[in-house]
Amino acid sequence: MRIARLSFALAAGLIGVACGGETPEPKPPAPPPVATTTPPPAPTATEAAAPAAPQKSMPEMQAEAIKVMTDGFVAGDAKKVASIYADDAVMMMPGMPEAKGRAAIEKDTAQFFAAVSKLKMAATRVFTKDDTVIAEWAMNGVHTGDFMGVKATEKPVGWHGATLMKFNKDGKVTEDHTYFNMPTMMAQIGAIKGMKARAVPELPASPEMVTFKAGDKDAAHKALVEKMNGAMASKKEADFVGGLADNIEWDDVAAPGPTKGKDGAKKYFKMFTAAFGDMKSDKQDVWVFGDYVVQETKWTATHKGTFMGIPATKKPVTMHGLDVMKVEGDKIVKGWSYDNGAELMMQIAPEKMGPKPGDAKAAPKADAKAAPKAAAKPAPKK
């Protein structure tokens, strides 16, 4: 800024000379003002030679934050995990109360570490665009503490999930939207009877990194997904399956396993539209990353029909989710959905979600090993 001002003054002087005309005799310069303050000490040779630390780029800060978070999970260090968040950050997990502020996030994380230890975590795929990072990940560990009213079972647990994070200019997370299916762990530790538990996932060796780059198919891919979303509200099956490849494979973490082919997609469509016929999207954010489309949604509806064996309750419900879709040509060939089945079940059938937090419940008997009885000690002689 100082250089710009000096250049402007110099240019103005040159323009004055070029225009010609007489110039009045200059007055003698005024004496310099007497300094009233002590000037700052001159920098040392080392300080003068040391270059200013370069400002890290947003991708560099994001990568550093994700590493700190991952290391914190592996170490079971809640404070380290919380250090990547801004003081006023908000963490949202569907089906659970929001954690507002870094202190609340640290507290919730510490409670999780008290229930699950020997944690391992790795990203499977990471999408980045400007201040937004969307990471799909896998996690596993051991149930070594009270979780939702269930005492430690020492069983291995694990699941897939996804997290959307928004960063501020200082590289701190201001928003965290984390999606994983809580009933998966509840089934793995035997807390939900009759539910088939998903296998504990293996961790990937390295994630697939996808950085945003505008392409000529972005608009078409986005329109493809938006048409499918509209079909759920309009109950038009043809529009829903029309954008799917014949060999479509879709893996919803809240389902027992992936569905394959259009027949599976039709069953899913009929089940949801029959149970929640007035579904509408209250939020739909869509990002296109080349052949991948990612969307975050919020749906509202009324439970008007039987769902998963639960008769209509006429209750209003809200459902959040994050979907990742891979497109080839003009068809979706593979999809992954991340949501929390507990969010919906707690609204229409909370009694099916096992014990409530604070309920006293021992580990399932089938997994409890009988401890050897200690030999009775003789009473001390008087």
Mean pLDDT of 75-101: 96
Amino acid at 366: A
Cβ contact 193:364 at 8 Å: no
- The CATH classification number of 56-212 equals 3.10.450.50
Range in 269-273, 330-334, 347-351, 368-372 with the lowest mean pLDDT:
368-372
Number of CB atoms found within 10 A of residue 196's CB: 8
Residue 208's pLDDT is 93
In this prediction, residue 4 carries a pLDDT of 34
15 or 323: which leads in pLDDT: 323
Check pLDDT > 80 for residue 341.
yes
The sign of the CA dihedral 221, 282, 169, 89 is negative
Q: How far is CA 376 from CA 214, 371, 373, 380, 381, in A?
A: 76, 15, 9, 12, 15
Q: Which residues of 346-373 are buried (b: 16+ CB within 10 A; e: fewer)?
A: bbbbeebbbbeeeeeeebeeeeeeeeee
- Render pLDDT for 187-201 as a digit per residue (tens, 0 to 9): 999 998 888 889 999
**Buried b or exposed e, range 288-304, using 16+ CB within 10 angstroms:** bbbebbbbbbebebbbe
CA–CA distance, 208 with 294 (Å, rounded to integer)? 15
The SS3 call for residue 248 is: strand
**Most distant CA pair in the chain, distance:** 125
Look at the block and give the residue holding tokens 């800060």.
61
The answer on pLDDT for 50 being more than 90 is no
| pLDDT tens track for 277-333 | 899 988 889 999 999 999 999 999 999 999 989 999 999 999 999 999 999 999 999
pTM attached to this predicted model: 0.79
Segment 357-374, tens digit of pLDDT: 445 444 444 444 444 444
> For residues 324 and 53, which has the higher predicted lDDT (pLDDT)?
324
pLDDT of 239 > 50? The answer is: yes
SS3 content of the chain, % helix, strand, coil (to 5): 30, 30, 40
H or E stretch including 331?
strand 331-338
Tell me the average pLDDT across 249-255: 95
pLDDT at residue 46, as a whole number: 62
- Residue 55 clears pLDDT 60, i.e. is over it: yes
CATH of 216-354, one of 3.40.718.10, 3.30.70.20, 3.30.450.20, 3.10.450.50: 3.10.450.50
Strand, coil or helix: 350:
helix
Residue 121 in contact with residue 112, Cβ under 8 Å? no
Question: What percent of the chain stands above pLDDT 70?
Answer: 79
**Which residues, including other chains, have CB under 8 Å from residue 93's CB and lie 6 or more apart?**
177, 178, 179, 180, 340
In angstroms, the CA 64 to CA 167 distance is 12
**pLDDT score, position 370:** 40
Adjacent-strand bridge partners of 135: 126, 163
* Angle in degrees, CA 273, 277, 281, rounded to 5: 90
Q: What pLDDT is attached to residue 251? A: 96
Domain chopping of the chain, boundaries: 56-212, 216-354
Asked whether this chain's domains 56-212 and 216-354 adopt the same fold, the reply is yes
Rounded to whole angstroms, the Cα distance separating 123 from 164 reads 12
Sorting pLDDT into bands at 50, 70 and 90, what band is 65?
very high
- The tokens for 117 are 């230890």
Closest CA to 197 of 346, 356, 354: 354
For residue 132, pLDDT over 60 is answered with: yes
